[in-house]
Amino acid sequence: MRDIKIKSAFISVYYKDGLEAIVKKLKSLGISIVSTGGSYDFITGAGVEAVRVEELTTYPSILGGRVKTLHPGIFGGILARRDNEVDMKQVAEYNIRLFDLVIVDLYPFEETVASGAAPQEIIEKIDIGGVSLIRAGAKNHADVLIVSSRLQYGTLMHILDRNDGVVKGEELYRFAIEAFNLTSHYDTAIFNWFNRDKQITSFKKSILTSESLRYGENPHQKGLFFGNLKENFEHLHGKEISYNNLLDIDAALSLIDEFDETTCAILKHNNACGIASRSTVREAWDAALACDPVSAFGGVAVTNREIDAEAATEMDKIFLEVVMAPSYTGEAVAILKQKKNRIILLRKQSEADRETFRSMLGGVLWQERDRANESAAGMKPVTSRHPSDDEYQDLVFANRIVKHSRSNAIVLARDKQLCASGIGQTSRIDALRQAIEKAHSFGFSLEGAVMASDAFFPFPDSVTTAHNAGITAVVQPGGSVRDQESIDYCNKNNVAMVFTGIRHFKH
């Protein structure tokens, strides 16, 4: 890679902030400038001489500004290879002006979409000339420095200050990478907007921002988060968020969003080890912690109400990796900050992702997010005894938890409190046995409790075992060829059972 010296610049930008200092620096270095429309007016208004692009193309801006720079007189000056004899002969033959620096940004397409603008306004923000100029400069990066964003102006100024406009070869290459990163992202955004009704089956996702994590799932693995965490929460206190923290945070937010009542949940390894709905956060916390105080150690606590001093005082009594809430009192934050590494997050209002995807087998597995949320009205009684009002409330509560538990999953609950869950088992009966044993180990009586299953029961052994443990009502999707055997057992033993018709596998 060889160095170049900037002698001539082409400038056409939508955003003018930061540009004045750049053009004045170019002037001080004797670098000539060619510019377009509003950029020309801005530059000359700053007292810097420039040449209008029309003087090179001999054409005015036409078609409402859609065509300004698409001309050999401009692109030839960017794409000409200085070490190519044929290129340079044609440059001389057609009197083409060479450009060593191209400063071009793009119309704000994504911002226009986000504003809710009408389709025609959005279409007019699809940049044609800008993308072409950026790609041309990046392609010929051996001879041209392409600056594609005002965020690069600081680096550009450093280059100009350092050695009178001499640019190192590795810098030219780095700017070219950033240019192609920008244009590919821009094209992805345009495609995804046009394809918002999924007329074409294609997976395209582009995220420009990223954050380095301490490591991945384990210390020997590298980890990154692509996205903007600040859109979801404010990091009030504590250490850097880890890869595993983020997995638990995502699981916690997905779970807590299922509940309208004052609810507190504690999660470990993406599963709820405690959750309860009560009249206050303090009461919800106490009930959630009672579910499994052992697993709660080092967990992620989340609530859908403001954390006050009373709740914070109780939370501070155990080690929690992360605490999340939509708001805190000042005293509560002070209490929770007593543990210097505890991560305290203030949740912001943000829309949950409507789709999920994961990499595998050299490809990507995509699906819609599971947004089904069954109410009591959506539960179909299939037994002669229907659930009582209290049982219905607990069935809805348990079903929301099992939806967010690793399959095979069973949830046992009573009085809007998790008694225990059996998760990640290879058989449903094993998940149930695990839940019963765990509930008993923490002193829960299952008399009058309810059971939720993420999928149907292939055999009647689950309802038999649940009934023998004290369970009086069951919710499951139904759909087994042997459903009737489970229904018959429930009818003979006065157990109420409802079907939802919706399975909630989670792997």
Q: Could you list the active site residues?
A: 139, 269
**DSSP symbol at 138:** H
Backbone angles phi, psi at 238, to 5 degrees: 105, 180
Question: Which residues are CB-neighbours of 417 under 8 A, at least 6 positions away?
Answer: 275, 276, 277, 287, 288, 290, 291
Q: Which pairs count as long-range contacts for 322-331, CB under 8 Å and 24+ apart, including other chains?
A: 322/238, 322/241, 322/245, 322/248, 322/249, 322/252, 324/233, 324/249, 324/252, 324/253, 324/300, 328/236
How far apart are the C-alpha atoms of 19 and 23, rounded to whole Å? 6
How far apart are the C-alpha atoms of 458 and 460, rounded to whole Å? 7
Q: Please, what is the angle between helix 129-139 and helix 72-79, to 10°?
A: 30
CB 13 within 8 A of CB 102: no
CB 443 within 8 A of CB 301: no
**DSSP symbol at 504:** -
How far apart are the C-alpha atoms of 95 and 55, rounded to whole Å? 12
Of 310, 179, 306, 164, the closest CA to residue 323 belongs to: 306
CB 322 within 8 A of CB 300: yes
**Measured in whole angstroms, how far is the alpha carbon of residue 298 from the centre of its chain?**
24
Strands 271-277 and 263-268: antiparallel
* Cβ atoms < 10 Å from Cβ of 172: 23
How far apart are the C-alpha atoms of 24 and 31, rounded to whole Å? 10
Buried/exposed code over 95-126 (b: 16+ C-beta within 10 A; e: otherwise): ebbbbbbbbbbbbebbebbeeeeeeeebebbb
Class of residue 223 by CB neighbours under 10 A (exposed 0-12, middle 13-18, buried 19+): middle
How far apart are the C-alpha atoms of 180 and 134, rounded to whole Å? 8
